[in-house]
Amino acid sequence: MRVLVLGGTVFLSRAVAAAALARGHEVWCVARGASGSAPDGARLVVADRDRPGALDELRGERFDAVVDVATMSLPWVADALDALAEKAGHWTFVSTINVYADAATRGQRADAPLLAPRTEPTERSDTPDPDVYGGVKVASENAVRAALGERAFVVRGGLLAGPGDPHDRFGYWPARMATGGRVVVPDVPDQPFQYADARDLADWIVSAGERGLAGTFDGTGPRGTLAAVLEGIASSVGAADLSLVPVPPEDLLAAGVRPWAGPKSLPLWLPTTHYGMADRDTEASLAAGLEIRPLADTAADVLADERSLGPNRPRKAGLTPEEEAPLLQ
């Protein structure tokens, strides 16, 4: 196939480009080249999608599969569709589970009610309001379905893990556990948790293009609990003297520790009001070919990536040793 990745220089979209190359396809990427490089063997078209007509250079090209990860920008999606949809054989739009209106109810499927689409201009941000992020993705999904019909594959990503993750969430745990000692974990034995290794999601996206798989799916793995995932990471990468120290959520909140992400956080810990986001019924996705590798493999590869970045780098998510120490008293 001839595959076009709108993105391709970081994390998931780079993994899509790499997966397509590994499966023998011709791969083009479109990015500014600001986040990193496209994988070796891919052709990078340098373009800034904030500039109207950025994709004009590609207008009229025929691609068997197009993959767009556009976030927080309906104009990016509309421009891409205008330039490329007519001749595209298959179109993947990477969306998010933030599109759902109800974050609390567990066991929902991809046909659950959505947020209202946001079509008005929005400021892009690294830390967007989740409802704005979700609403723009809803509007983007609608535009893709309207243009591509039965050639549209919409994948709503959940938490993505894997090497090259710019968000620093999942990686906190293997990095921290590998240093050993007493490690603060949230005392939430019943918290559901789901994730996908970005490389597995990427493989599924490429195979969807090969097979012409269409429809709307959640792009996240089997249902489990956060406690089981943290214990699994501990047993794969933990140091010999490691022990997990569960701290009640109320004590964490009182100490100013945030759930989920960001500075001074315990990543992947969710408020109960958001349990539905990590407990989606993904049977349809798994039946349609999404396969998630064993947790131990993801944890080991993420730890290797963390080590290559350096253990003491500033992180976007997690606790510093100084923030963790008082919680262990």
Ligand X SMILES: NC(=O)c1ccc[n+]([C@@H]2O[C@H](COP(=O)([O-])OP(=O)(O)OC[C@H]3O[C@@H](n4cnc5c(N)ncnc54)[C@H](OP(=O)(O)O)[C@@H]3O)[C@@H](O)[C@H]2O)c1
Is the CB of 67 or the CB of 184 nearer to ligand X? 67
Interface pattern 67-106 for ligand X (x via CB under 6 A): --x-x----------------------x-x----------
Is the CB of 10 or the CB of 154 nearer to ligand X? 10
Is the CB of 68 or the CB of 324 nearer to ligand X? 68
Binding ligand X by CB under 6 A: which of 3, 4, 10, 80?
10
Q: How far is the CB of 48 from ligand X (least distance, A)?
A: 5
Nearest to 237 by CA among 307, 293, 168: 307
Q: Which two three-digit tokens encode residue 192?
A: 């559901």
Work out whether 31 is an interface residue with ligand X (CB under 6 A): yes
Cβ neighbours around 323 below 10 Å, total = 17
Q: How far is 263 from 244, CA to CA, in rounded Å?
A: 21
Interface pattern 118-147 for ligand X (x via CB under 6 A): ------------------------------
Binding ligand X by CB under 6 A: which of 49, 151, 176, 315?
49
Is the CB of 198 or the CB of 247 nearer to ligand X? 198
Work out whether 13 is an interface residue with ligand X (CB under 6 A): yes
Q: How far is 205 from 290, CA to CA, in rounded Å?
A: 9
Q: Show contacts with ligand X in window 150-209 (CB under 6 A).
A: 157, 159-160, 167
Q: How far is 298 from 252, CA to CA, in rounded Å?
A: 27
Which residue blocks in the chain are alpha helix, DSSP H? 11-22, 74-84, 130-148, 172-179, 198-211, 226-237, 249-254, 283-287, 295-309, 321-324
Nearest to 306 by CA among 181, 160, 167: 167
Q: Which residues bind ligand X (CB under 6 A)?
A: 7-13, 31-35, 47-50, 69, 71, 94, 96, 157, 159-160, 167
